Chains A and B, each alone.
Chain A
Amino acid sequence: MIKAKRKPLEELFDLTKGFQRILCVGCGGCTSVCLAGGQRETQMLKTDLSQLFRENGKSAHISVFVIERQCSPEYISDIEDMIKDYGCVISAACGAGVQLLAERYRSKPVFPALNTMFVGLDRSTGLYQERCRTCGDCQLGYTGGICPVTCCSKSLFNGPCGGTNINGSCEVSRETPCAWNEIYERLKMQNRVENILSIHPPMDWTDKGPGTLIQSGYESRYIKK
């Protein structure tokens, strides 16, 4: 799931200090799960921001509402009536959620409360690790379930680079495991080393426009002939 982290409070104050009425909108999806933008965190944000406003001799009325999923039009209409009473919105969703709110409520400034960090896994409560950069051409089938884009310091598709240390760490740091060493060990264990002996073509990173995904079966609905 998407992992995020709250922005420095000073930055949020700087963005919102000109407003008297602020609506803090949490997300009940990914950012709740990673303890950055759920109900409790959004309430904490309200408390902390109100305090900073006071310390700076300002006052603002700050309210909290949590939308179950800010990336879905179905749910973001929940604040339609409310939003009229506020000068701006602080969204504690990922960047996608912030953008959907901003698109839906165009006349209101919508500020991000969080820095969206990565697609990652939950190691433990409050501990997350990046594992996917949504490259659009998943290599895990060849690489023993270890992502070379995310875990290799150089994001190599055909590794290792030659800089692997004798202890299996990466040349950039002895603390960083060499992803390609791990890939090799995993594939060897599964008798699949031949998977990485053939050369994989480089990823086409040139298409940098925002992507659109249409699931198969839905083409006729969205693609005009």
Chain B
Amino acid sequence: MNSINTDTAAMNRIADILDKKRDMIKLSLSACVHCSICSESCFKFNSNKKDPTYTPAYKVINSIGRIYKKKGKLSDSEYDKIKILIWDKCVLCMRCYCPLGISIPSLIACARSVCREKGFYRTYDETADGPEI
């Protein structure tokens, strides 16, 4: 479990991150026409039986989209869900193609920065050990 940051300094840093990326986030969220073309280029989507929660657009809208709309003021359980979406369901391989030129990895990276400030991030010793080989 990560330690959760509730201090105002962290919230200020989050506001700062969102402020710097405001134009990109706003434009991307409004430009997405939900065509799902991005999903075809996402190997995570394709290798997970085309589960719609792996669709790049879904990951963006439900991570940075939610964070942006609520100015980062989400509950811990919401941050926990976002963490799964942007770490377990995206590896930031930058292979997703959006015909409108939306940079999905940049948006997900931005959501990760916010989550990190909030104390939600993937630690690579939290999963159970793999089998002995």
Contact = CB atoms under 8 A, between A and B. Distances in A.
Interface of A: 28, 32-35, 38-40, 66, 68-69, 72, 74-75, 78, 81, 122-126
Contacts of B92: 28, 68-69, 75
A38 B123 contact: yes
Interface in B88-106: 92, 94, 103, 105-106
Interface residues of B, number: 19
Given A69-B92, A124-B130, A74 B122 contact: no
Contacts of B132: 123-124
B121 interface: yes
Interface of B: 20, 92, 94, 103, 105-106, 109, 112-113, 116, 121-125, 129-130, 132-133
A137 to B, nearest CB: 26
A124 B129 contact: yes
Given A32-B122, A32-B124, A38-B124, A75 B109 contact: yes
Contacts of A35: 124-125
Given A68-B92, A78-B113, A125 B105 contact: no
Given A38-B124, A68-B109, 20 more contacts: A28-B92, A32-B124, A33-B124, A34-B124, A35-B124, A38-B121, A38-B123, A69-B92, A72-B94, A74-B103, A74-B105, A74-B106, A75-B92, A78-B109, A81-B20, A122-B130, A123-B133, A124-B129, A125-B125, A125-B129
Q: Which 5 residue pairs of A and B lie closest in terms of their CB atoms, listed nearest first?
A: A125-B125, A68-B109, A33-B124, A39-B121, A124-B129
B130 to A, nearest CB: 7
Nearest to A124: B129
B109 A40 contact: no
B29 to A, nearest CB: 19
17 contacts: A28-B112, A34-B124, A35-B124, A38-B123, A38-B124, A39-B121, A66-B116, A68-B109, A68-B112, A69-B92, A72-B94, A74-B106, A74-B109, A75-B92, A122-B130, A124-B130, A124-B132
Contacts of B103: 74
A39 B116 contact: yes
A193 B98 CA distance: 49
Nearest to A34: B124
